[in-house]
Amino acid sequence: MSLSNFYITKLKALEERYEELSKRLSDPQIMSDPENYAKLAKELSSLEEVVKTFQEYKRAIKEIEENKKLLEEEKDEEIRALAKEEIKILEDKVENLEKVLPLMLLPKDPNDEKSVILEIRAGAGGEEAALFAAELLRMYQRYAERKGWKFEILDANETGLGGFKEVIARIDGKGAYSRLKFESGVHRVQRVPITESGGRIHTSTVTVAVLPEVDDVEVEIRPEDLKIETMRASGHGGQHVNKTESAVRITHIPTGIVVTCQNERSQHQNKATALKILRAKLYELAQREQMEKIQKERKAQVGTGERSEKIRTYNYPQNRVTDHRIGLTVYNLPEVLDGDLDEFIDALITHFRTEALKREEALSLAA
């Protein structure tokens, strides 16, 4: 394998831009303008890794050529053996870099470093679906603990048996969205419910949505577009847990999105939390509309993790977890539900990056 002209051209352009920026940043006129200097320095930093890797790739190819030339000229068998060994090492290095460099050219998802708003809803299956929603919540909580991320439940609608009709949580940690974004979709469970006396296996579903947490400046919410209602927070079975109207329901009139929050102690805190969830949902909606537009323009199938897609099955009788998007099956269901998700997440990241790479290459051929 060798890098195509498409990638070589792009890499050379980035290298030239990197060298140009390095020179400009040493210009006294640029240095006297802090805002412009910071902007150019940020761009230089963003290019450094890919440019250094490309230069490493070019050095390795040059060293291979030099060693091959040495083999043609050298008669000493010991030196020839060393040259052959060096060529093998360098060729392995080049092969690896030829896989890495195209991936480094893919556009970075601007949301990857963000924290996450996690939304889990019981789907088909009644109480059994609600119970599995609680297990998925724990699975993501355990995964967050493994990564050293902060996990906080923002709002929950519990059932009498300890399940959740709906639960919303915040996962705070650098890169949380980059690791969890492919978890969005329909998760299916197959098992004998605790409510089933006949021992029959039931199939239930739970919807998971992973939204990037966004700043106030990224999504504008006009006060006149909001309908804000207050009510008493309620516990199990509708029992009121306080006598004040601390729970808040916000309706975004233009989109019809409704967010309710009652977990915080004060109305002010619940309103702030509800607005945070609403902001994430509006951002997701805008992104989805933009993606749909791009899909129509390119006429290409892009895996977006839409909620209607069945993405994963958890089969208890077979101790099996299968991700249908990539055909990956493991037989360690208890460990997965305890937060051991990296095998799936790493495979999904590789899959979607490879798919994006194929689209890039197809576009280059069509151009």
Lowest mean pLDDT, pick from 157-161, 162-166, 363-367:
363-367
| Among candidate residues 312, 65, 75, the one with its CA nearest the CA of residue 186 | 312
In this structure, of 25-39, 241-255, 265-279, 303-317, the range with the lowest mean pLDDT score is: 303-317
Please name which of 166, 212, 208, 173 lies closest in space to residue 310, comparing C-alpha atoms: 208
Please check whether residue 3 is in contact with residue 102, taking contact to mean a CB–CB distance below 8 angstroms: yes
pLDDT over 80 (residue 362): no
Tokens of 313: 């099955």
pLDDT at 73 exceeding the cut of 70: yes
State residue 138's pLDDT score. Answer: 95
pLDDT for 287 equals 73
User: How far is the C-alpha of 213 from the C-alpha of 121, rounded, in Å?
Assistant: 19
- Cβ–Cβ under 8 Å, residues 168 and 154: yes
Query: Which residue blocks in 249-321 are alpha helix, DSSP H?
Result: 267-298
pTM of this prediction exceeds 0.85: no
pLDDT at 198: 67
Residue of higher predicted confidence among 261 and 361: 261
pLDDT digits (tens, 9 = 90+) for 220-269: 778 888 888 887 766 544 444 445 567 888 888 888 888 888 877 788 88
Query: Residue 292: its pLDDT value, please?
Result: 66
Q: What percent of the chain has pLDDT over 90?
A: 36
Mean pLDDT of all residues in the chain? 83
What pLDDT was estimated at residue 215? 65
The CA-CA-CA angle for residues 289, 110, 2, to 5°, reads 105
pLDDT at 5: 82
- Strand arrangement of the beta sheet that strand 226-231 belongs to: 226-231, 247-252, 257-261
Whole-number pLDDT of residue 17: 94
Helix 77-104 × helix 5-24 angle, to 10°:
80
Query: How many other C-beta atoms are found inside a 10 Å radius of the C-beta of residue 189?
Result: 24
- Specify the pLDDT at position 299: 36
- For residue 27, the one-letter residue type is D
Residue with tokens 């060393």: 82
Beta bridge mates, 247: 231
Burial level of 153, CB count in 10 A (0-12/13-18/19+)? middle
Q: Residue 363, Cβ neighbours under 10 Å: how many?
A: 12
19-48: b (≥16 Cβ within 10 Å) or e: eebeebeeeeebeeeeeebeebeeebeebe
123 pLDDT above the threshold of 80? yes
pLDDT tens per residue across span 326-359: 999 999 999 999 999 999 999 998 888 888 877 7
Question: What is the residue-wise DSSP string for 204-221?
Answer: EEEEEEEEE---GGGS--
> What's the burial of 2, exposed, middle or buried (CB within 10 Å: 0-12/13-18/19+)?
exposed
Query: How, if at all, do strands 257-261 and 310-315 pair?
Result: unpaired
CB 206 within 8 A of CB 167: no
Bridge-based pairing of strands 185-191 and 310-315 is parallel
pLDDT at 365: 65
| pLDDT tens track for 78-115 | 888 998 999 999 999 999 998 888 888 887 777 888 88
Q: Choose the weakest-confidence range: 127-141, 181-195, 234-248.
A: 234-248
Q: What is the side-by-side order of every strand in the sheet holding 116-122?
A: 150-158, 164-172, 116-122, 202-212, 185-191, 310-315, 320-323, 328-330
pLDDT for residue 296 is more than 70: no
Name the E strands within the chain.
Answer: 116-122, 150-158, 164-172, 185-191, 202-212, 226-231, 247-252, 257-261, 310-315, 320-323, 328-330
Write the Ramachandran bin of 116: left for phi over 0, alpha for psi from -120 to 50, otherwise beta. beta
Domains of the chain with bracketed CATH: 5-104 (1.20.58), 116-299+309-357 (3.30.70.1660)
